[in-house]
Amino acid sequence: MKILDWYILKRYLGTFGVLILLFIPIGIVVDLSEKVDDMIENEAPLDAILLYYLDFTIYFANLLFPILLFLSIIWFTSKLANNTEVIAFLSSGVSFTRFLRPYIIGATIVCSVALLFSLYLFPNASEGYNEFKYAYLKKGRETRITKDVYTQINDNEFIYATNFRPENKSAQNFTLEHFEGEDLKFKISARRIKFNDTTYTLSNYLRRDIGEREDQFVRKSSYDTIMPFDIEALTPVNYIAETLDYNELNEFIEQEKKKGSGLINTYLVVAYKRWSIPISAFILTIIAVSVSAMKRRGGMGINLAIGIVIAFGYIFMDKIFGTIAEKSTFSPLLAVWFSNIVFSILAIILLRKAKR
Protein backbone atom coordinates (compact mmCIF):
# COMPACT_ATOMS: atom_id res chain seq x y z
CA MET A 1 0.00 0.00 0.00
CA LYS A 2 1.10 3.56 -0.71
CA ILE A 3 1.38 6.48 1.72
CA LEU A 4 -2.14 7.66 0.77
CA ASP A 5 -3.59 4.26 1.67
CA TRP A 6 -1.86 4.10 5.06
CA TYR A 7 -2.78 7.71 5.80
CA ILE A 8 -6.50 7.13 5.28
CA LEU A 9 -6.59 3.56 6.66
CA LYS A 10 -5.02 4.62 9.99
CA ARG A 11 -7.64 7.34 10.37
CA TYR A 12 -10.44 4.97 9.32
CA LEU A 13 -9.60 2.36 11.97
CA GLY A 14 -8.35 4.85 14.57
CA THR A 15 -11.43 7.10 14.50
CA PHE A 16 -13.76 4.10 14.62
CA GLY A 17 -11.86 2.65 17.58
CA VAL A 18 -11.86 5.96 19.47
CA LEU A 19 -15.59 6.42 18.88
CA ILE A 20 -16.33 2.94 20.28
CA LEU A 21 -14.14 3.63 23.33
CA LEU A 22 -15.99 6.92 23.90
CA PHE A 23 -19.52 5.60 23.50
CA ILE A 24 -19.21 2.36 25.47
CA PRO A 25 -18.47 4.08 28.84
CA ILE A 26 -21.34 6.48 28.15
CA GLY A 27 -23.62 3.54 27.45
CA ILE A 28 -22.52 1.80 30.66
CA VAL A 29 -23.12 4.92 32.77
CA VAL A 30 -26.59 5.50 31.26
CA ASP A 31 -27.54 1.83 31.69
CA LEU A 32 -26.27 1.74 35.28
CA SER A 33 -28.15 4.91 36.22
CA GLU A 34 -31.39 3.39 34.89
CA LYS A 35 -30.99 -0.05 36.48
CA VAL A 36 -29.09 0.51 39.73
CA ASP A 37 -32.32 0.54 41.78
CA ASP A 38 -33.39 -2.84 40.37
CA MET A 39 -29.92 -4.28 41.04
CA ILE A 40 -30.06 -3.16 44.67
CA GLU A 41 -33.66 -4.28 45.15
CA ASN A 42 -32.95 -7.75 43.73
CA GLU A 43 -29.58 -8.01 45.54
CA ALA A 44 -27.47 -8.58 42.44
CA PRO A 45 -23.94 -9.67 43.52
CA LEU A 46 -20.98 -7.48 42.49
CA ASP A 47 -19.26 -10.20 40.44
CA ALA A 48 -22.50 -10.79 38.47
CA ILE A 49 -22.80 -7.04 37.82
CA LEU A 50 -19.20 -6.83 36.57
CA LEU A 51 -19.73 -9.81 34.24
CA TYR A 52 -23.00 -8.26 33.07
CA TYR A 53 -21.22 -5.06 32.02
CA LEU A 54 -18.50 -7.04 30.28
CA ASP A 55 -21.22 -8.78 28.26
CA PHE A 56 -23.06 -5.45 27.89
CA THR A 57 -19.95 -3.92 26.29
CA ILE A 58 -19.90 -6.54 23.53
CA TYR A 59 -23.70 -6.47 23.17
CA PHE A 60 -23.78 -2.66 22.99
CA ALA A 61 -20.86 -2.46 20.53
CA ASN A 62 -22.52 -5.00 18.21
CA LEU A 63 -25.82 -3.11 18.40
CA LEU A 64 -24.37 0.32 17.57
CA PHE A 65 -21.61 -0.86 15.23
CA PRO A 66 -23.23 0.45 11.97
CA ILE A 67 -23.96 3.92 13.42
CA LEU A 68 -20.54 4.35 15.02
CA LEU A 69 -18.70 3.21 11.89
CA PHE A 70 -20.75 5.50 9.68
CA LEU A 71 -20.27 8.57 11.89
CA SER A 72 -16.55 7.93 12.35
CA ILE A 73 -16.00 7.84 8.57
CA ILE A 74 -18.01 11.03 8.05
CA TRP A 75 -16.09 12.71 10.88
CA PHE A 76 -12.56 12.14 9.62
CA THR A 77 -13.41 12.40 5.89
CA SER A 78 -15.14 15.75 6.48
CA LYS A 79 -12.01 16.86 8.28
CA LEU A 80 -9.92 15.88 5.25
CA ALA A 81 -12.34 17.76 2.97
CA ASN A 82 -12.31 20.91 5.15
CA ASN A 83 -8.50 20.88 5.11
CA THR A 84 -8.69 20.60 1.28
CA GLU A 85 -6.76 17.30 1.51
CA VAL A 86 -9.37 15.48 -0.58
CA ILE A 87 -9.04 18.09 -3.31
CA ALA A 88 -5.26 17.72 -3.15
CA PHE A 89 -5.51 13.95 -3.53
CA LEU A 90 -7.89 14.14 -6.49
CA SER A 91 -6.06 17.00 -8.25
CA SER A 92 -2.84 14.98 -8.14
CA GLY A 93 -4.34 12.56 -10.64
CA VAL A 94 -5.88 10.10 -8.18
CA SER A 95 -9.35 9.00 -9.32
CA PHE A 96 -12.21 8.91 -6.82
CA THR A 97 -12.35 5.12 -7.20
CA ARG A 98 -8.64 4.90 -6.30
CA PHE A 99 -9.28 7.29 -3.40
CA LEU A 100 -11.87 4.81 -2.12
CA ARG A 101 -9.44 1.88 -1.97
CA PRO A 102 -8.15 2.38 1.60
CA TYR A 103 -11.74 2.84 2.76
CA ILE A 104 -12.68 -0.51 1.22
CA ILE A 105 -9.65 -2.14 2.85
CA GLY A 106 -10.74 -0.66 6.19
CA ALA A 107 -14.31 -1.88 5.63
CA THR A 108 -12.96 -5.36 4.90
CA ILE A 109 -11.01 -5.41 8.18
CA VAL A 110 -13.98 -4.12 10.18
CA CYS A 111 -16.38 -6.52 8.44
CA SER A 112 -14.09 -9.50 9.17
CA VAL A 113 -13.80 -8.62 12.87
CA ALA A 114 -17.55 -7.91 13.08
CA LEU A 115 -18.31 -11.29 11.47
CA LEU A 116 -16.09 -13.06 13.99
CA PHE A 117 -17.89 -11.32 16.84
CA SER A 118 -21.35 -11.81 15.33
CA LEU A 119 -20.96 -15.51 14.51
CA TYR A 120 -19.03 -16.76 17.54
CA LEU A 121 -18.30 -14.18 20.30
CA PHE A 122 -21.53 -12.18 20.47
CA PRO A 123 -23.70 -15.24 21.37
CA ASN A 124 -21.77 -15.83 24.63
CA ALA A 125 -22.10 -12.17 25.58
CA SER A 126 -25.80 -12.20 24.69
CA GLU A 127 -26.41 -15.24 26.91
CA GLY A 128 -24.78 -13.59 29.95
CA TYR A 129 -26.50 -10.27 29.22
CA ASN A 130 -29.99 -11.82 28.97
CA GLU A 131 -29.56 -14.20 31.91
CA PHE A 132 -28.62 -11.29 34.18
CA LYS A 133 -31.44 -9.15 32.81
CA TYR A 134 -34.13 -11.72 33.57
CA ALA A 135 -32.57 -12.78 36.88
CA TYR A 136 -32.12 -9.31 38.41
CA LEU A 137 -33.69 -6.63 36.19
CA LYS A 138 -36.88 -8.30 34.97
CA LYS A 139 -37.31 -10.73 37.82
CA GLY A 140 -40.54 -12.69 37.66
CA ARG A 141 -41.16 -12.12 33.95
CA GLU A 142 -41.58 -15.25 31.86
CA THR A 143 -38.76 -15.98 29.44
CA ARG A 144 -40.56 -18.79 27.61
CA ILE A 145 -43.98 -20.26 26.84
CA THR A 146 -45.16 -22.27 29.85
CA LYS A 147 -48.85 -22.92 29.14
CA ASP A 148 -50.38 -25.28 26.58
CA VAL A 149 -47.02 -26.48 25.29
CA TYR A 150 -47.35 -28.57 22.13
CA THR A 151 -44.37 -29.67 20.07
CA GLN A 152 -43.03 -32.38 17.77
CA ILE A 153 -39.89 -33.95 19.29
CA ASN A 154 -38.93 -36.19 16.34
CA ASP A 155 -40.40 -37.57 13.13
CA ASN A 156 -42.86 -39.85 14.93
CA GLU A 157 -43.65 -38.33 18.33
CA PHE A 158 -45.59 -35.35 19.64
CA ILE A 159 -45.91 -34.10 23.21
CA TYR A 160 -48.32 -31.82 25.00
CA ALA A 161 -48.43 -30.31 28.51
CA THR A 162 -50.77 -27.71 30.00
CA ASN A 163 -48.39 -26.14 32.51
CA PHE A 164 -44.60 -26.32 32.20
CA ARG A 165 -42.48 -25.19 35.16
CA PRO A 166 -38.83 -24.77 34.11
CA GLU A 167 -37.68 -23.85 37.63
CA ASN A 168 -38.38 -27.38 38.93
CA LYS A 169 -38.36 -29.17 35.56
CA SER A 170 -41.91 -30.43 35.72
CA ALA A 171 -45.12 -30.23 33.71
CA GLN A 172 -48.82 -30.95 34.27
CA ASN A 173 -51.25 -33.02 32.15
CA PHE A 174 -48.51 -34.53 30.03
CA THR A 175 -49.24 -36.49 26.83
CA LEU A 176 -46.92 -38.25 24.36
CA GLU A 177 -48.29 -39.67 21.10
CA HIS A 178 -46.30 -42.00 18.84
CA PHE A 179 -47.23 -42.27 15.16
CA GLU A 180 -46.02 -44.51 12.37
CA GLY A 181 -47.03 -42.83 9.17
CA GLU A 182 -50.52 -41.51 9.88
CA ASP A 183 -51.42 -44.23 12.37
CA LEU A 184 -51.32 -43.69 16.13
CA LYS A 185 -49.47 -46.66 17.69
CA PHE A 186 -49.41 -45.74 21.37
CA LYS A 187 -50.19 -42.88 23.70
CA ILE A 188 -48.67 -42.08 27.11
CA SER A 189 -50.38 -39.69 29.51
CA ALA A 190 -49.70 -38.57 33.07
CA ARG A 191 -51.12 -36.03 35.49
CA ARG A 192 -47.58 -34.81 36.17
CA ILE A 193 -44.10 -35.39 34.76
CA LYS A 194 -40.86 -34.43 36.52
CA PHE A 195 -37.25 -34.71 35.37
CA ASN A 196 -34.80 -36.25 37.89
CA ASP A 197 -31.26 -35.84 36.52
CA THR A 198 -31.41 -38.87 34.17
CA THR A 199 -34.98 -40.21 34.39
CA TYR A 200 -38.55 -38.92 34.37
CA THR A 201 -41.15 -39.61 37.03
CA LEU A 202 -44.72 -39.79 35.72
CA SER A 203 -47.60 -39.58 38.21
CA ASN A 204 -50.91 -41.31 37.37
CA TYR A 205 -49.19 -42.99 34.42
CA LEU A 206 -51.32 -44.43 31.63
CA ARG A 207 -50.06 -46.10 28.46
CA ARG A 208 -52.47 -47.06 25.71
CA ASP A 209 -51.23 -49.33 22.90
CA ILE A 210 -53.45 -49.22 19.84
CA GLY A 211 -54.29 -52.71 18.58
CA GLU A 212 -56.04 -53.93 15.45
CA ARG A 213 -59.00 -55.30 17.41
CA GLU A 214 -58.59 -53.92 20.93
CA ASP A 215 -56.31 -51.55 22.80
CA GLN A 216 -53.98 -52.52 25.64
CA PHE A 217 -53.79 -50.34 28.77
CA VAL A 218 -51.08 -50.07 31.43
CA ARG A 219 -51.77 -47.98 34.54
CA LYS A 220 -49.41 -47.07 37.39
CA SER A 221 -49.67 -44.51 40.17
CA SER A 222 -46.00 -43.59 39.67
CA TYR A 223 -43.61 -44.68 36.95
CA ASP A 224 -39.91 -43.89 36.39
CA THR A 225 -38.66 -44.06 32.83
CA ILE A 226 -36.52 -42.33 30.19
CA MET A 227 -37.97 -40.12 27.47
CA PRO A 228 -36.70 -39.21 23.99
CA PHE A 229 -36.48 -35.48 24.72
CA ASP A 230 -34.80 -32.92 26.94
CA ILE A 231 -37.35 -31.17 29.13
CA GLU A 232 -35.46 -27.86 28.73
CA ALA A 233 -36.00 -28.13 24.97
CA LEU A 234 -39.79 -28.19 25.34
CA THR A 235 -39.99 -24.42 25.23
CA PRO A 236 -36.66 -22.64 24.61
CA VAL A 237 -36.16 -19.23 26.25
CA ASN A 238 -37.30 -16.40 24.00
CA TYR A 239 -33.72 -15.16 23.47
CA ILE A 240 -32.26 -18.62 22.69
CA ALA A 241 -31.32 -17.73 19.08
CA GLU A 242 -29.08 -14.87 20.24
CA THR A 243 -27.11 -17.20 22.54
CA LEU A 244 -26.13 -19.80 19.90
CA ASP A 245 -23.12 -19.54 17.62
CA TYR A 246 -23.76 -19.75 13.88
CA ASN A 247 -23.42 -23.54 13.54
CA GLU A 248 -25.50 -24.23 16.65
CA LEU A 249 -28.13 -21.76 15.46
CA ASN A 250 -28.49 -23.48 12.08
CA GLU A 251 -28.88 -26.87 13.77
CA PHE A 252 -31.41 -25.40 16.21
CA ILE A 253 -33.46 -23.87 13.38
CA GLU A 254 -33.59 -27.23 11.57
CA GLN A 255 -34.79 -28.93 14.76
CA GLU A 256 -37.45 -26.24 15.31
CA LYS A 257 -38.65 -26.57 11.70
CA LYS A 258 -39.24 -30.27 12.31
CA LYS A 259 -41.20 -29.40 15.44
CA GLY A 260 -43.33 -26.91 13.54
CA SER A 261 -42.31 -24.04 15.81
CA GLY A 262 -44.19 -20.78 15.32
CA LEU A 263 -41.03 -18.79 16.05
CA ILE A 264 -39.03 -19.94 13.00
CA ASN A 265 -39.14 -16.47 11.41
CA THR A 266 -37.73 -14.91 14.59
CA TYR A 267 -34.84 -17.39 14.60
CA LEU A 268 -34.19 -16.86 10.87
CA VAL A 269 -34.06 -13.07 11.32
CA VAL A 270 -31.36 -13.52 13.98
CA ALA A 271 -29.41 -15.92 11.73
CA TYR A 272 -29.52 -13.66 8.66
CA LYS A 273 -28.52 -10.59 10.68
CA ARG A 274 -25.31 -12.37 11.70
CA TRP A 275 -24.21 -11.69 8.09
CA SER A 276 -26.17 -8.63 6.98
CA ILE A 277 -24.98 -6.24 9.71
CA PRO A 278 -21.21 -6.87 9.26
CA ILE A 279 -21.54 -6.67 5.47
CA SER A 280 -23.28 -3.31 5.84
CA ALA A 281 -19.80 -1.92 6.63
CA PHE A 282 -19.08 -1.74 2.88
CA ILE A 283 -22.37 -0.04 2.03
CA LEU A 284 -22.17 2.51 4.84
CA THR A 285 -18.51 3.23 4.06
CA ILE A 286 -19.27 4.13 0.44
CA ILE A 287 -22.24 6.31 1.46
CA ALA A 288 -20.22 8.07 4.17
CA VAL A 289 -17.30 8.87 1.84
CA SER A 290 -19.61 10.03 -0.94
CA VAL A 291 -21.46 12.37 1.43
CA SER A 292 -18.47 13.81 3.29
CA ALA A 293 -15.73 14.01 0.63
CA MET A 294 -17.24 17.24 -0.70
CA LYS A 295 -16.42 20.49 1.07
CA ARG A 296 -19.65 22.24 2.09
CA ARG A 297 -20.48 25.72 3.32
CA GLY A 298 -21.78 24.44 6.62
CA GLY A 299 -18.58 22.47 7.18
CA MET A 300 -18.41 19.27 9.19
CA GLY A 301 -21.69 19.95 10.99
CA ILE A 302 -23.77 19.60 7.81
CA ASN A 303 -22.04 16.33 6.90
CA LEU A 304 -22.60 14.94 10.40
CA ALA A 305 -26.28 15.97 10.33
CA ILE A 306 -26.76 14.22 6.98
CA GLY A 307 -24.84 11.21 8.33
CA ILE A 308 -26.99 10.93 11.47
CA VAL A 309 -30.19 11.04 9.41
CA ILE A 310 -28.94 8.33 7.03
CA ALA A 311 -27.55 6.14 9.85
CA PHE A 312 -30.75 6.24 11.88
CA GLY A 313 -32.76 5.72 8.70
CA TYR A 314 -30.79 2.52 8.11
CA ILE A 315 -31.31 1.29 11.68
CA PHE A 316 -35.00 2.22 11.61
CA MET A 317 -35.62 0.35 8.35
CA ASP A 318 -33.66 -2.67 9.60
CA LYS A 319 -35.70 -2.85 12.82
CA ILE A 320 -39.07 -2.28 11.13
CA PHE A 321 -38.66 -4.97 8.49
CA GLY A 322 -37.14 -7.38 11.03
CA THR A 323 -40.22 -6.96 13.23
CA ILE A 324 -42.56 -7.38 10.25
CA ALA A 325 -40.86 -10.69 9.36
CA GLU A 326 -41.09 -11.94 12.96
CA LYS A 327 -44.80 -11.14 13.28
CA SER A 328 -46.01 -12.16 9.81
CA THR A 329 -45.34 -14.47 6.87
CA PHE A 330 -43.05 -11.90 5.20
CA SER A 331 -39.78 -13.49 4.02
CA PRO A 332 -37.13 -13.15 6.80
CA LEU A 333 -34.34 -13.20 4.20
CA LEU A 334 -35.82 -10.30 2.26
CA ALA A 335 -36.71 -8.41 5.45
CA VAL A 336 -33.18 -8.62 6.84
CA TRP A 337 -31.45 -7.70 3.58
CA PHE A 338 -34.00 -5.09 2.47
CA SER A 339 -32.22 -2.18 4.18
CA ASN A 340 -28.89 -3.27 2.68
CA ILE A 341 -30.46 -3.47 -0.78
CA VAL A 342 -32.07 -0.02 -0.49
CA PHE A 343 -28.93 1.61 0.88
CA SER A 344 -26.77 -0.16 -1.73
CA ILE A 345 -28.81 1.65 -4.40
CA LEU A 346 -28.38 4.90 -2.45
CA ALA A 347 -24.61 4.23 -2.24
CA ILE A 348 -24.36 3.80 -6.03
CA ILE A 349 -26.30 7.02 -6.66
CA LEU A 350 -24.21 9.05 -4.19
CA LEU A 351 -20.96 7.54 -5.48
CA ARG A 352 -21.77 8.52 -9.06
CA LYS A 353 -22.64 12.02 -7.89
CA ALA A 354 -19.40 12.30 -5.89
CA LYS A 355 -17.31 11.20 -8.90
CA ARG A 356 -18.56 14.20 -10.86
User: Is the predicted pLDDT of residue 114 greater than 60, yes or no?
Assistant: yes
Q: How far, rounded to the nearest angstrom, does the alpha carbon of residue 138 sit from its chain's CA centroid?
A: 20
110 and 24 in a common domain: yes
Task: Let me know if residue 249 belongs to a domain.
Answer: no
Residue 266, judged by CB atoms within 10 A of its CB (0-12, 13-18, 19+), counts as buried
CA distance 77 to 104: 14
In this structure, the answer to whether residues 176 and 291 fall within a common structural domain is no
Whether residues 123 and 152 share a domain: the answer is no
pLDDT at residue number 147: 75
Higher-pLDDT residue of 83 and 347 is 347
Q: Are residues 133 and 268 in the same domain?
A: yes
One-letter identity of residue 249: L
Q: Is the pLDDT of residue 1 over 60?
A: no
Q: Tell me the mean pLDDT in the region 266-290.
A: 90
343 band by pLDDT with thresholds 50, 70 and 90: very high
| Of 300, 294, 295, 279, nearest in space to 343 by CA | 279
- Would residue 305 count as lying in a domain? yes
Q: Is pLDDT above 70 for 118? A: yes
Q: Which residue has the higher pLDDT, 168 or 15?
A: 15
Q: Is residue 258 part of a domain?
A: no
Say if 247 falls within a structural domain: no
Residue 38 pLDDT grade (very low, low, confident, very high; cuts 50, 70, 90):
confident
* Cross-strand bridge partners of residue 194: 170, 201
Most confident of 145-154, 237-246, 266-275: 266-275
Percentage above 70 pLDDT, the chain: 95
Among 68-72, 143-147, 226-230, 237-241, the range with the most confident prediction by mean pLDDT is 68-72
**Strand arrangement of the beta sheet that strand 199-209 belongs to:** 147-152, 157-165, 170-180, 183-196, 199-209, 216-225
What is d(CA 56, CA 238) in angstroms, rounded to the nearest whole number?
A: 18
pLDDT tens by residue, 162-171: 888 877 788 8
Q: Residue 241 domain-assigned?
A: no
What is the Cα–Cα distance from 271 to 264, expressed in whole angstroms? 10
**In-domain check, residue 251:** no
**Predicted local distance difference test score (pLDDT) of residue 141:** 66
> Residue 89 above 80 pLDDT?
no
Residue 12 and residue 129 in one domain: yes
pLDDT of 258 over the 90 cut: no
Last residue in a domain, options 179, 212, 233: 233
Q: Are residues 197 and 106 in the same domain?
A: no
Confidence of residue 106 (pLDDT cuts 50, 70, 90): very high
**What local confidence, expressed as pLDDT, does residue 279 receive?**
92
Q: Tell whether 103 and 85 lie within a shared domain.
A: yes
pLDDT of residue 233: 65
**In the predicted model, is pLDDT for residue 190 greater than 70?**
yes
Question: What pLDDT does residue 142 have?
Answer: 64
Kindly report the backbone phi and psi dihedral angles of residue 138, in degrees, each rounded to the nearest multiple of 5, phi listed first. -125, 45
Nearest-angstrom CA–CA distance, 283 and 260: 36
297/318 same-domain check: yes
Whether 113 and 182 map to the same domain: the answer is no
Q: What is the mean pLDDT of residues 276-302?
A: 82
Q: Give the domain extent around 9.
A: 3-139+263-355
Comparing 197 with 276, the larger pLDDT belongs to 276
Residue 180 banded pLDDT, cuts 50, 70, 90: confident
Residue 243 domain-assigned (yes or no): no
- What number is the average pLDDT over the span 67-83? 86
Instruction: Quickly state the pLDDT bin for 338 (edges 50, 70, 90).
Output: very high
Whether residue 9 is found in the same domain as residue 134:
yes
Q: In this structure, are 278 and 217 located in the same domain? A: no
Confidence of residue 107 (pLDDT cuts 50, 70, 90): very high
Residue 114: partners with Cβ closer than 8 Å, 6 or more residues away: 62, 65, 277, 278, 281
What band does 140 get if pLDDT is binned at 50, 70 and 90? low
Q: What is the mean pLDDT of the chain?
A: 84
Interaxial angle between packed helices 332-355 and 300-327, expressed in degrees from 0 to 180 and rounded to the nearest 10: 160
Whole-model pTM? Answer: 0.79
Q: How many domains does the chain have?
A: 2
Residues 190 and 328 in one domain: no
- Over residues 79-86, mean pLDDT: 78
Helix/strand/coil (H, E, C) string of the chain? CCHHHHHHHHHHHHHHHHHHHHHHHHHHHHHHHHHHHHHHHCCCCHHHHHHHHHHHHHHHHHHHHHHHHHHHHHHHHHHHHHCCHHHHHHHCCCCHHHHHHHHHHHHHHHHHHHHHHHHHHHHHHHHHHHHHHHHHHCCCCCCCCCEEEEEECCCCEEEEEEEEECCCCEEEEEEEEEEECCEEEEEEEEEEEEEECCEEEEEEEEEEECCCCCCEEEEEEEEEECCCCCHHHCCCCCCHHHHCCHHHHHHHHHHHHHHCCCCHHHHHHHHHHHHHHHHHHHHHHHHHHHHHCCCCCCCHHHHHHHHHHHHHHHHHHHHHHHHHHHHCCCCHHHHHHHHHHHHHHHHHHHHHHHHC
Does residue 206 form part of some domain? Answer: yes
Q: Residue 282 above 90 pLDDT?
A: yes
Q: Is the pLDDT of residue 337 over 90?
A: yes
